[in-house]
Amino acid sequence: MSQGKLPLRGIRIVDFYWVAAGPRSSRVFANLGAEVIKMESIARLDLSRGRPPFRKGTTGINAGLGFNNGSVDKLSATLNMSRPEAREIAKKLIAISDVVTDNYTPHVMDNWGLGYDELVKIKPDIIQISMPVMGKEGPRSHYGGYGMGITAASGINYLTGRPDRAPVGTGIAYSDAGPNPRHATIALLAALHYRNVTGKGQFIEIPQNESTICYTGTAILDYAVNGRLQRGMSNHSPYACPHAAYRCKGDDRWCVIAVFNQEEWLAFCDVIGNPEWVWDSRFATCLSRKESEEELDQLIEEWTQERTPEEVMMQMQLGGVAAGIVQDGADLLDRDHQLRAREQYVTLDHPEIGVCHVDNVPFRLSETPGQVRHHAPLLGQDNDYVYRELLGMSEEEMDRLIVEEIIY
Amino acid sequence: MGKEETEKATALGDIRVLDLAGPAGVYGTKLLADLGADVIRVEPPGGDLMRSLGPFVDDDPHLEKSLYFFHFNTNKRGITLNLDTPDGQEIFKSLVKTADVLVETFPPGYMDSLGLGYEDLKTVNPKLIMASVTGFGQTGPYKDFKSYDIVGVATGGLMYLGGFMGEPPNYTGGFQGYHLAGSDVVSGILVALYHRDLTGEGQYVDVSMQQSVAMGIEAAMTYYDASKRIRRRTGRQVYRGWNEVFPCKDGYVMCGPLGGASWRKLLEWMDSEGMAADLKEEKYTFVLQIMVDRQMDRQVTSERKDPRQLAEYPEEIAYIEQVWEDFLMTHTREELYEECQKLGIRLMPINSARDLLEDPHLQQRSFFTDVAHPELGKTFKYQGPPYRLYGTPWRIKKRAPLIGEHNREIYIEELRFSKEQLVALKQGGVI
C-alpha cells in the first residue's frame, strides 16, 4: 500500500485525549488524514509518554514505543490549561476546528469553560466527545478507574478462564485497547456523517465501563432471561468440541483447534491420521464428545505435543479444520506471514527510538485507505504551526506566552 | 413510545444496509441498526444459521428463540432470499440498487462466485459501500483458512497474554474477536460513508479479524519491538504491586496489595477495624513500600528496580499478603469499592452479568432497555448503548426480526412483486 488517499483531510480535531483509550481512537483519524492536534502540557504530562517499553539506552518523554504507536500522525501543541489565558487560546483554536475530544474525569472540561454549552456558542456545529469512566451522570460518575479495572468490572474477566481459578482475565488493560477506542471512533464518525447531512454537531459521551460491557455478548441477556450466569469455561465452548488450546513442541507453545460440526470433526480425524481412538463411542457423536471432553483434549494433546504450533496449524488448516497458533510478540512481528502480507506493521524512523514498528490502519479501504506516515510527535513540536500559522499570533506574543508558561 | 420519541433524529437514519453478516460481522450491523440505519437482514429460506446458536429462551432450541440472534439483530428487518439461485441473485441486485452499504462475512471469493462480488455490484450501484469481514482478510497466504472467534483471538495475540504460566493461555470470553472485527468494519464503513458524502464515490472495505485482534492488544508487539522480549501471562499478578486479583467476602476485586500506592490509607482502615495485625511495624511497611515502589518506579523513570530486592523478603511478603487477604474476606466488593473510592485508592470489583444488572448506577443511567417480544408474550432486558450521542440517541426500537417477517414489506410494497409472484418465489425456493 503506497500513497493512499486521505479521506478525512479537512477535519481538524483539538485532541485532549491522553494516556490510552482516547488516543488510540484519535490516532485512526490522524492516519486517515484528519489534522489531530494533541493538546499537551509539561505541567500535566500524558502519562503514557513516560511509560516503557523503551529501547535499551533510551528513555524520556518522546522515546516510549507504546506512546509512539498510539500517536502516529498526530501534531503536538503544548498549552497549560491550568492557566485562564490558556483556556481562551483553546477556545480560539476550537473556533476553527471540527471536533474536541477528552477522556478526563467528568467536569474537567466544564470547569475549564470548555463544556458543550460554551463551545456551541463559539462554533455551533462543534462535535465534542468525552470518555468519562463511569459516565457523566449517576451515583458512580465521580469514581475514578483505569483500563484493567474497567475490564474486570465490565464482566469480561468473569467470562474468561477456568471457573475454579481467580478471574484474571486478559492480562492487559483491554478496555483501553479494544472496545473503548473503537466505540469512540464509531460514534465520532457517525456524528460527522450526521453533520454532513444536517450541518449539526452534538455532544457525545463514551462511558468507558458501559462501552466495555457491550463486548460481553449474550451474558447479560442470558442472565436477564434465563437466570443463568455465564462463566469462563477454560478454553471450551458450548458450541464446539474439540475447542481448546493444545500444548505443542517448544517452550510454552500452543495452538488452538476448533471443531464446530460433524463435517469438521471428520476432517479433523483425517488430519491426525484416524487413530484407533476416534472410533471409540466416547467420541463418535458431538454429544458424546462433549461428555468426554477432558479425555478428548488429552488425546489430542498427545498428537500436538509432537509438533510445533506452526505444523499443527498448517496441517489442520490444509485439512479444512479451524486452527491457529497462540501467538506471542515475536510471532506477530517476526514470524507471521499473513500479517506481513497484510502489512499490519509499518516501519517508521523515529529520531529518538530509531527504526520501529507501529500498527497500520485497522481496515482496508479500496479507494481511500489512509496511510501511517509519521512517528508520534515530539512534545510541542507543532507549536509554531498551531499558534503562529493557525491562530495568527505574532512572534512576540508567542514568546510572551512561552515565558509565562502558558504555552508550556 | 410517543410521537416525539419516534421522530427523534438518528445519526444513520438516511442509510440502508443489506446484512449478510455471520458472527464475525453481525455486531457491526447491530451497531449500524442501533444508530438508526435501515438494516435489512437477508437470510436463507428457513432462517439463518445463527438462529441455531444458544443460549435460547428457557433453553428451548427453537429458531425464533435464540438469544444470540436476538442480541445481535436488534432493530433490523428480516427477509429471506436464496442467493444460490439466479432469481435470488437478480432480486438481490435490485435491493443493492436501493442500498448504501452491504456487509458480508463469507469466505473470500464466495460472493464473486455468485456474481455478487464488489466488481459486479459496483456496476449495479456505483455508490455502494461493500464491506467484508473474514478471519484473515481478503488477501494473503491465509485468506482461505477457516476461522472462528478463538482462532482470531489466538492468532491476533490476545490469548497469549491472559492466564497462568504452566497452564494453557486464557481464551477471552464474550467473543472478543467478533466484537473487535465487527467494530472495525463499522469504522471502515463510516469512513467510506464520509468520503462518499463528499465525493459520491463508493468503495470496498476489507477487515481481517486477526488484524482487528492484533490492534486490540496493548503493547505485546511494542514490547517485543523494543527489546526482543516476550510479554507473558502473569496469573493473579497482572501488574505486581499495582493490579492483582484478590478474593474477598463475596467474590473478587482487582487492586494492588493493600491498594497499591496509597497503602498507608488502607492500612489505617484495616487498623480501625482491628485487622492490621503487625503490619504497621517498620519491617512490614518497609517491604510494602518496595512492593509499590517497584511498580511506581517503572512508571516514572522506566528503570527497573532490582527485582532481587523483593526476593530478599519472602516471609514478610507472605505475611503481608495473608493479613491483607484476611481483611478482604471480611468485606464485600461493594464495601471495598465504595470505601476505596473515598480514600482515592484504585480498586475495582470483578463483576458478573448479575452484578451489572443489579448495579444501581447502571440502572439509574438507563443502561438497560426493555424490548418487547409479543410472540413470546414477554419483555426482555437488553444491554447498551456503548455511547451516548446526545443529538442522535442510540435506541432499540424493536426486537430482532422473525424469519421472513418483512418479506411482504420489502418484496410487495417496495419491489412491487405481486402476492402471486411471492408465492411462486417461495415455492421455488427463492425466498
pLDDT tens column, B64-89: 999 999 999 999 999 999 999 999 99
Please check the confidence at residue A269 and state whether its pLDDT lies above 70: yes
Rounded to an integer, the average pLDDT of B97-108 is: 98
- Nearest 10 degrees: CA dihedral of B349, B353, B357, B359? 0
Task: Name the average pLDDT for chain A.
Answer: 95
ipTM of the modeled complex:
0.97
Q: Which contiguous run of DSSP H or E holds residue B343?
A: helix B333-343
Which one of A98, A176, A297, A382 is the catalytic residue?
A176
**Dist CA B1 CA B8 (whole Å):** 11
**Does the bond joining B45 to the residue before it have cis omega, within 30 degrees of 0?**
no
- Residues of B with a known catalytic role: 184
Minimal Cβ distance to A363: which of B145, B187, B222:
B187
Q: Which residues of B63-73 are buried (b: 16+ CB within 10 A; e: fewer)?
A: ebbbbbbbbbb
In sequence order, the 6+-apart residues with CB closer than 8 A to the CB of A247 are A253, A254, A301, A304, A305, B168
A237-258: per-residue pLDDT in tens? Answer: 998 999 999 999 999 999 999 9
Q: Dihedral sign, CA of B394, B399, B404, B408?
A: negative
Terminal alpha carbon distance of chain A = 38
With CB atoms and an 8 Å threshold, state whether B171 touches A337.
no
Is B222 in contact with A65 (Cβ distance < 8 A)?
A: yes
Q: What is the model's pLDDT at position B241?
A: 58
B269 touches chain A (CB under 8 A): no
Which residues in chain A have their CB less than 8 angstroms from residue B186's CB? Answer: 186
B232 and A CB contact within 8 Å: yes
Nearest Cβ partner for A187 among B229, B300, B387: B387
Q: In chain B, which among 155-214 make CB contacts under 8 A with chain A? A: 155-165, 167-176, 179-180, 183-188, 190-195, 197-198, 201, 203-208, 210-212, 214
Mutate to test the interface with A, among B340, B361, B396 (most CBs of A within 10 A): B361
Please state whether the peptide bond connecting residue A53 to the residue before it is cis, i.e. omega within 30 degrees of 0.
Answer: yes
The pLDDT of residue A281 is above 70: yes
Strand runs (DSSP E) across A103-223, as ranges?
127-130, 202-205
C-alpha angle B378-B381-B385 in degrees, rounded to nearest 5: 140
Alpha carbon distance A66, B217 (integer Å):
11
Mean pLDDT for B160-171 is 94
pTM value? 0.96
By Cβ distance, the residue of B146, B169, B364 closest to A320 is B146
CA distance B245 to chain A (A): 6
The span from the CA of B203 to the CA of B136, in Å, is 20
The whole-angstrom separation of Cα B401 and Cα B75 is 8
How far does the CA of residue A352 sit from the closest CA of chain B (Å)? 12
CA distance B126 to chain A (A): 13
A166-197 pLDDT per residue, tens: 899 998 999 999 999 999 999 999 999 999 99
**pLDDT at site B240:** 58
pLDDT of residue A4: 58
The pLDDT tens digits of the residues spanning B193-221 come to 999 999 999 999 999 999 999 998 877 89
- 8 Å CB contact between B231 and B313: no
Residue A249 to chain B, least CA–CA distance (Å): 14
Which residues of chain B does A231 touch, with a Cβ-Cβ cutoff of 8 Å? 352
pLDDT of residue B151: 98
- Whether residue B115 lies within 8 A of chain A, CB to CB, comes out as no
Q: How far apart (Å, rounded) are the C-alpha atoms in residues A119 and B202?
A: 34
Asked whether the beta carbons of residue A327 and residue B53 sit closer than 8 angstroms, the reply is: no
**A134, A202, A214, best to mutate vs chain B, most B CBs in 10 Å:** A214
Task: Give the pLDDT mean for B7-13.
Answer: 86
CB < 8 Å from A in window 81-100 of B: none
B218: exposed, middle or buried (Cβ count in 10 Å: 0-12, 13-18, 19+): buried
DSSP for residue B206 = E
Q: What is the dihedral of CA B108, B25, A28, A211, to 10 degrees?
A: -160
* Chain B contact probe: residue of A55, A234, A260, A342 with most B CBs at under 10 A: A342
Strands B347-349 and A12-16: unpaired
* DSSP letter, residue A276: G
**Which residues of chain B lie closer than 8 angstroms to A207, CB-CB?**
365, 387-388
- Of all residues in chain B, the one with the smallest CA distance to A212 is B386
CA B281/CA B275 separation, integer angstroms: 14
Mean pLDDT of B312-326: 90
Judge whether A180 and A215 are in contact, CB under 8 Å.
no
Q: Which cell numbers hold the place of B227?
A: 527489546
Q: What is the pLDDT of residues A298-321, one digit of tens each?
A: 999 999 999 999 999 999 999 999
HEC per residue, A67-83: HHHHCCCCEEEECCCCC
Give the separation between CA B305 and CA B294, rounded to whole angstroms: 5
Q: If you measure CA to CA, which chain B residue comes closest to A53?
A: B223
Answer whether residue B364 shows pLDDT above 60.
yes
Residue-level pLDDT at A171: 87
The percent helix, strand, coil of chain B (3-state, each to 5) is 45, 15, 40
Taking the CA of residue A52 and the nearest CA in chain B, the distance in Å comes to: 6
Indicate yes or no: CB of A168 within 8 angstroms of CB of B170.
yes
Q: How far is CA B260 from CA A391, B288, B294, in A?
A: 44, 9, 11
Residue with cell 443493492: B96
Task: State mean pLDDT over A279-293.
Answer: 91
Pick the residue from chain A with its C-alpha nearest to B23: A217
pLDDT at position B286 is 87
Q: How confident is the model over A345-373, as a mean pLDDT?
A: 96
Q: In chain B, which among 117-136 make CB contacts under 8 A with chain A?
A: 118, 136
Q: Using N-to-C axis directions, what is the helix angle for B282-300 and B263-272, rounded to 10°?
A: 150
